[in-house]
């Protein structure tokens, strides 16, 4: 039997990158998948089709995870479609990298709301259903930047550090309800978002990695799968940092 047979997962920001890798891997392990995206409708459709080809149900929602009312609509639709939500993966994220002196208020607000407030929204709404089920798994995709900081990413590091604090606190609040909440804090992963970083800068960063290479999205998905499965039933409130920084 696969690890997630009979389970339903909701993943934010899963039309591409890490989120897509998580969606496909969880589908391989038997889960039905619902996910959100903002603008990449073509990529979202491709992801839905890829999941269905694995014999699993799939549904995509174009929704802005920053807004609580939109979150309510998505979660209610997933419950109507699948009857339950066993796994929540908070993966939605953007970057607006600039040195602090050049960072605008909008740069700050966009990243904090997309990367951190979205996790608050989905944890708040989904946890109600998990409490009723007396079981659930929440996996937050943070970043090593939230642990050690990173030049030019004041907003991103603050959001991911906040996600780590959210993880540890929500884990304590729901431990008695058999809901485990954990986070992954990867370093640089080979995704479209990371490809936006200056090539010379990436060369410098590569020399810092003990393994001298970036992680692949599938390697991060393996960690999410572990936290979403029964293998982690006795683990909550933990942050697994990336090993490549």
Say yes or no to pLDDT of 11 above 90: yes
| 198 Cβ contact partners less than 8 Å away, ≥ 6 residues apart | none
Entry pTM: 0.91
Say yes or no to pLDDT of 10 above 80: yes
Percent of the chain with pLDDT over 90: 80
pLDDT, position 192: 56
Q: pLDDT, tens digit, for every residue of 51-82?
A: 999 999 999 999 988 999 999 999 999 999 99
Q: How far is CA 113 from the centre of its chain?
A: 14
CA distances from residue 123 to 10, 83, 128, 140, 212 in whole angstroms, order as listed: 11, 18, 9, 10, 35
Say yes or no to pLDDT of 241 above 90: no
The Cα–Cα gap between 111 and 117 comes to 9
Query: Which residue matches tokens 């997962």?
Result: 9
Catalytic residue numbers?
156
- Confidence tier at 14 by pLDDT (50, 70, 90): very high
pLDDT, position 168: 98
Average pLDDT of 143-149?
A: 91
Q: pLDDT, tens digit, for every residue of 162-214?
A: 999 999 999 999 999 999 999 999 987 765 555 555 444 445 555 555 655 66
pLDDT, position 212: 55
Structure tokens at 84: 């339950």
pLDDT, position 242: 66
pLDDT, position 112: 97
Three-class SS state of 180 = strand
The Cα–Cα gap between 156 and 149 comes to 9
Average per-residue pLDDT in the chain?
A: 90
pLDDT, position 184: 96
- Confidence tier at 2 by pLDDT (50, 70, 90): confident
């Amino acid at each position: 039997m696969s690890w997630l047979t009979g389970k339903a997962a909701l993943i934010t920001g899963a039309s591409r990158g890490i989120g897509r890798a998580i969606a496909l891997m969880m589908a391989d392990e038997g889960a039905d998948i619902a996910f959100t995206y903002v603008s990449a409708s073509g990529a979202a459709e491709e992801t839905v089709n890829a999941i269905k080809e694995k014999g699993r149900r799939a549904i995509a929602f174009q929704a802005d995870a920053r807004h609580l009312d939109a979150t309510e609509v998505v979660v209610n639709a997933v419950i109507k479609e699948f009857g339950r939500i066993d796994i929540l993966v908070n993966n939605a994220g953007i970057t607006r990298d600039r040195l602090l002196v050049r960072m605008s208020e909008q740069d700050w607000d966009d990243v904090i709301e997309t990367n951190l407030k979205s996790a608050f929204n989905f944890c708040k709404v989904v946890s109600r259903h998990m409490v009723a089920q007396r079981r659930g798994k929440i996996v937050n995709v943070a970043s090593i930047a939230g642990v050690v900081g990173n030049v030019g990413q004041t907003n991103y590091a603050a959001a991911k550090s906040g996600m780590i604090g959210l993880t540890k606190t929500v884990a304590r609040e729901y431990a008695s309800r058999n809901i485990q909440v954990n986070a992954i804090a990867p370093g640089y992963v080979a995704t479209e978002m990371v490809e936006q970083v200056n090539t010379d800068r990436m060369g410098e960063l590569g020399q810092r990695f003990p393994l001298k290479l970036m992680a692949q999205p599938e390697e991060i998905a393996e960690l999410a799968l572990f936290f979403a499965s029964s293998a982690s039933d006795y683990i909550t409130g933990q942050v697994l940092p990336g090993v490549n920084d």
